[in-house]
């Protein structure tokens, strides 16, 4: 095999019809991976970028595409046998990844590459790769490396098991009568009639899937229903995930200790923008101090309001009633009822609106691919082309990526909202591919218009921000720096930056038209929504502080004495004024504990950068090309070929400051 050939075009695994075929597909990919490593080894004497880094990067590309696509199948394939096989095969791919990360021959070959003639992106890639080898323990003795390898493999097994338990755990709430739906929107009540057969025939049954959960928590007048839904949701995958989580935390602790770190949190920040867990703690303490008083004030205002509303005896509002009372408060104080905006957000219009906004923002063109094979009939496929002021016809016709939209819930499918890179782009050799896995209303085809809440609409754009990062950043020379391969704690910048766009009345009015009469959403309604939405920001930041602290503390305290329940309650009470609800087992379904591990801080840290970035865009013309083009060029296109701090400096001409974030908090506090 020559190293200049592109990796063979990957046949997508979802076109395969059986678990056997899937296993063969993985075996073939792992064989190609092994051949590339052999080629790399045979050139170790005269290592160069082309003879050594290229086969290394191709080996990484094969593993990445294989692992990402298997992971997708594990999350979305309608056939449980295929999901099971994908999960088992993921384990094999992860093993190959762990072995590669501890392979001393590869490390030495990469170290021997003379970097004199390398461009800065390649130099950064090499330096970062060598650092990750050292952090993985490549220079330890054989026994230690064997132990590290076994621990890493065990961590993968446990993480996969944890995720799968969450994916397959759907709680149900059986209603006592239709009266319990009081307060919920008309379209919700119409589409949730009593079951006609089965165990609960004659009863209305709700599930913990997002399209049921979110409206119940926001609108249901019945405190009993809200509480049952809250607990059903917070107890998903409990108790199944307790043992895997505890073991995972112990495994991570041992890995960190073997590598000379005190805790996993220290290891996990060593190659991040944050640099250390001490910096993380300081960052969190500052946010804590900045939001404590205002969050208490918000809470007291809502409690006072609830008492005025006839709940005189109410001593406190608990976590299961927080969204409901917040909504009631916003209706009264800001004349804003979030049900009023839903009719303007039927799913199909939102999808068209997001796609068209992103096309204009990043000067790209999306074309539906009618004949593409996917894993489910509801999935749509799109090709991405360059657009805008391209004089060169060839450039206009160049396809730069492909994406898949899998947007509605179904049995056995992952319950969350995410963007999944599938194939890393390599300039001139393979185009990047990615998918959105979401759970929005509207996929049932039974006449439900799929009316979204505004928060759903911003979630859609958030995930699309990840997707575009994968595609526009996927035109780099190396798979290892392609797309979202920045430091992990830069990843939520492009997604959160885009969320801000959907507070703009003009942008929303382009697509948010009433599902019955076609009227565009009134600017005054959007302005009221924004004012109402600003109330509760301190609370939202402190909710993130709670998640962040829990993810940090679970990875910092000693696993032998860690009490998951006690810590959860302590961290909750430390940050949130809404009363703790006994029986909350959030950790059992908190998948970020396996993915982000101790680094959940990424969301808050990146929010600071995202708001700083957003300020560069002109408030009266968010789509002004001078800024959008610069943003695409300086932030998204480099992918992981530059350190995050350089991306920030390139776009802002300075380091980030918390000023925009502080102003954002301050706006919320203005009476
Ligand atoms: Zn995100």
633-649: per-residue pLDDT in tens? 999 999 999 999 999 99
328 with 347, same domain: the answer is: no
pLDDT bracket for residue 445 (50, 70, 90) = confident
Domain that holds residue 358: 343-484+493-520
Mean pLDDT of 482-490: 96
CATH number, domain containing residue 359? 3.40.390.10
Mean pLDDT of 173-196: 94
Mean pLDDT of 77-86: 96
pLDDT bracket for residue 250 (50, 70, 90) = very high
Residue 572 CA to its chain's centroid (Å)? 22
Cα 437 to averaged position of ligand 1 atoms, centre (Å): 12
501 with 362, same domain: the answer is: yes
| pLDDT at residue 6, rounded to an integer | 45
The answer to the question of residue 234 being in a domain is no
The CA distance from 176 to 186, in Å, is: 19
448 with 514, same domain: the answer is: yes
Q: Which bin fits 483, alpha (ψ -120 to 50), beta or left (φ > 0)?
A: left
Cα 284 to averaged position of ligand 1 atoms, centre (Å): 19
Mean pLDDT of 102-119: 92
Cα 185 to averaged position of ligand 1 atoms, centre (Å): 28
Mean pLDDT of 24-45: 90
Cα 611 to averaged position of ligand 1 atoms, centre (Å): 15
508 with 544, same domain: the answer is: no
The answer to the question of residue 525 being in a domain is no
506 with 364, same domain: the answer is: yes
Cα 550 to averaged position of ligand 1 atoms, centre (Å): 19
Mean pLDDT of 208-219: 95
The CA distance from 378 to 499, in Å, is: 26
Instruction: Work out how many domains the chain is built from and give that number.
Output: 4
Q: Give me the DSSP letters along 171-205.
A: -EEE-SSGGGGTTS-HHHHHT-PPPSSSTTTTS-E
Cα 609 to averaged position of ligand 1 atoms, centre (Å): 14
Residues 6+ apart with CB under 8 A from 60: 100, 479, 480
Mean pLDDT of 142-164: 96
Cα 518 to averaged position of ligand 1 atoms, centre (Å): 31
CATH number, domain containing residue 315? 1.10.1370.10
540-569: per-residue pLDDT in tens? 999 999 999 999 999 999 999 999 999 999
The answer to the question of residue 147 being in a domain is no
Mean pLDDT of 395-413: 91
Would you say 384 and 487 are in contact if contact means Cβ atoms under 8 Å apart? no
Cα 418 to averaged position of ligand 1 atoms, centre (Å): 7
Cα 409 to averaged position of ligand 1 atoms, centre (Å): 19
Tell me what the pLDDT averaged over the chain comes to: 94
The CA distance from 359 to 365, in Å, is: 6
pLDDT bracket for residue 45 (50, 70, 90) = low
| pLDDT at residue 436, rounded to an integer | 98
608 with 638, same domain: the answer is: yes
CATH number, domain containing residue 83? 1.20.1050.40
Cα 419 to averaged position of ligand 1 atoms, centre (Å): 8
505 with 565, same domain: the answer is: no
408 with 325, same domain: the answer is: no
Would you say 482 and 425 are in contact if contact means Cβ atoms under 8 Å apart? yes
602 with 650, same domain: the answer is: yes
Q: Is residue 324 predicted with pLDDT exceeding 80?
A: yes
294 with 351, same domain: the answer is: no
Q: Give me the DSSP letters along 317-371.
A: -BGGGHHHHHHHHHHHHH---HHHHGGG-BHHHHHHHHHHHHHHHHTEEEEE-TT
- Closest by CA position to 490, among listed 637, 636, 602: 602
Q: What percent of the chain has pLDDT over 90?
A: 89
Mean pLDDT of 570-587: 98
Q: What percent of the chain has pLDDT over 70?
A: 97
115 with 177, same domain: the answer is: no
The CA distance from 510 to 507, in Å, is: 5
Cα 145 to averaged position of ligand 1 atoms, centre (Å): 33
The CA distance from 416 to 420, in Å, is: 12
The answer to the question of residue 418 being in a domain is yes
132 with 34, same domain: the answer is: yes
pLDDT bracket for residue 671 (50, 70, 90) = very low
Residues 6+ apart with CB under 8 A from 500: 610, 611, 614
The answer to the question of residue 527 being in a domain is no
């Amino acid at each position: 095999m020559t190293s200049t050939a592109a990796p063979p075009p990957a046949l997508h695994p979802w076109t395969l019809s059986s678990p056997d075929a899937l296993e063969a597909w993985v075996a073939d990919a792992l064989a190609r991976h092994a051949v590339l490593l052999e080629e790399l080894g045979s050139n170790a004497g005269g290592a160069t970028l082309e003879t050594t880094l290229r086969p290394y990067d191709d080996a990484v590309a094969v593993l990445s595409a294989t692992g990402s696509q298997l992971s997708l199948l594990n999350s979305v394939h309608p056939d449980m046998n295929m999901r099971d096989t994908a999960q088992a095969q993921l384990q094999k791919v992860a093993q190959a990844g762990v072995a590669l990360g501890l392979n001393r021959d590869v490390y030495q070959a990469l170290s021997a590459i003379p970097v004199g003639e390398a461009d800065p992106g390649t130099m950064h890639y090499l330096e970062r790769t060598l650092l990750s080898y050292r952090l993985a323990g490549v220079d330890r003795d054989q026994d230690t490396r064997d132990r590290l390898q076994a621990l890493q493999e065990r961590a993968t097994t446990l993480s996969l098991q944890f995720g799968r338990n969450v994916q397959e755990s759907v709680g149900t709430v059986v209603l006592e009568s239709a009266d319990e739906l009081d307060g919920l929107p008309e379209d919700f009540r119409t589409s949730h009639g009593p079951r006609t057969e089965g165990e609960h025939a004659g009863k209305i049954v709700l599930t913990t899937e997002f399209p049921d959960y979110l409206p119940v928590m926001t609108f249901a007048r019945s405190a009993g229903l809200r509480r049952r839904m809250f607990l059903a949701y917070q107890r998903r995958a409990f108790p199944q995930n307790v043992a895997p989580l505890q073991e995972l935390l112990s495994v991570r602790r041992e890995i960190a200790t073997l590598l000379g770190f005190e805790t996993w949190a220290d290891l996990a920040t060593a190659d991040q923008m944050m640099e250390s867990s001490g910096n993380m703690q300081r960052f969190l303490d500052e946010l804590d101090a900045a939001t404590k008083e205002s969050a208490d004030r918000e809470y007291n205002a809502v409690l006072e309001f609830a008492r005025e509303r006839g709940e005189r005896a109410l001593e406190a509002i608990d976590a299961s009633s927080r969204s409901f009372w917040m909504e009631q408060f916003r209706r009264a104080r800001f004349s804003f009822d979030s049900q009023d905006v839903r009719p303007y957000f039927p799913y199909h219009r939102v999808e068209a609106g997001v796609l068209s906004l992103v096309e204009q923002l990043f000067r790209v063109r999306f074309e539906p691919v009618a004949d593409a094979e996917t894993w489910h009939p509801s999935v749509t496929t799109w090709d991405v082309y360059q657009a805008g002021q391209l004089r060169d016809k060839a450039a206009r016709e160049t396809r730069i990526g492909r994406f898949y939209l899998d947007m509605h819930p179904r049995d056995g499918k992952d319950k969350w909202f995410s963007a999944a890179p599938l194939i890393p782009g390599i300039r001139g050799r393979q185009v990047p591919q990615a998918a959105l896995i979401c759970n929005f209303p509207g996929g049932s085809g039974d006449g439900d218009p799929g009316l979204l809440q505004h928060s759903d609409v911003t979630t859609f754009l958030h995930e699309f921000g990840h997707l575009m990062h994968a595609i526009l950043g996927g035109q780099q020379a190396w798979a290892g720096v392609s797309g979202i391969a920045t430091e992990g704690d830069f990843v939520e910048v492009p997604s959160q930056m885009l969320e801000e766009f959907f507070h703009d009345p003009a942008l929303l009015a382009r697509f948010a038209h009433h599902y019955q009469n076609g009227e565009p959403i009134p600017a005054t309604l959007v302005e009221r929504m924004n004012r109402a939405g600003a109330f509760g920001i301190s609370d939202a930041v402190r909710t993130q502080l709670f998640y962040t602290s829990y993810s940090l503390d679970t990875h910092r305290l000693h696993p032998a004495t860690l009490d998951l329940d006690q810590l959860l309650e302590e961290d909750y009470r430390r940050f949130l004024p809404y009363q703790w609800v006994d029986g909350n087992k959030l950790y059992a379904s908190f998948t970020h504990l396996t993915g982000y591990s101790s680094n959940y801080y990424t969301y808050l840290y990146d929010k600071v950068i995202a708001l700083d970035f957003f300020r560069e865009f002109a408030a009266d013309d968010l789509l002004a090309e001078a800024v959008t083009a610069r943003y695409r060029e300086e932030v998204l296109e480099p992918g992981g070929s530059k350190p995050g701090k350089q991306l920030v400096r390139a776009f802002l001409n300075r380091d980030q400051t918390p000023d925009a974030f502080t102003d954002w908090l301050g706006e919320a506090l203005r009476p």
